[in-house]
Amino acid sequence: MHVLVTYHSRTESTEKLAGAIAAGARRVDGIDCVTKPVAEVVIEDVLAADWLIAGSPSYHGTMASEMKCLFDRVITGNREKTVGKVGAAFSPPVLRLRAQSR
């Protein structure tokens, strides 16, 4: 089984989680795992993977645009080729952002 762990990270929290997930996956017999920043992922990387594990920080309550861009690129024209793949997602713990009222 080929696993692709991809992530977007500016300040390394998500990158560190990606590294830990990949290290865990590599301990399983028969798993071959590659880790890549999402900006470096090409469609062929996704199509070659049996499992896609994607990590993104929370940006304004959703995934980072860089990660959304990957899903948009993969789905456009390749949707059928992704059938049967296993997907998982992760995100670093979020902070509760408080609205400041005066």
What residues line the site for ligand FMN (CB under 6 A)?
A: 9-15, 57-61, 92, 94-95, 97
Cβ of residue 88: shortest distance to ligand FMN, in angstroms?
17
Query: 33: closest CA among 16, 55, 9, 49?
Result: 49
Residues 6+ apart with CB under 8 A from 88: 51, 52, 53, 54
Whether residue 14 contacts residue 53, with contact meaning beta carbons closer than 8 Å, is answered with: no
d(CA 83, CA 66): 23
- Cβ proximity to ligand FMN, 9 vs 46, nearer residue: 9
Cβ of residue 18: shortest distance to ligand FMN, in angstroms?
9
- Cβ proximity to ligand FMN, 37 vs 47, nearer residue: 37
- Cβ proximity to ligand FMN, 33 vs 57, nearer residue: 57
Cβ of residue 7: shortest distance to ligand FMN, in angstroms?
7
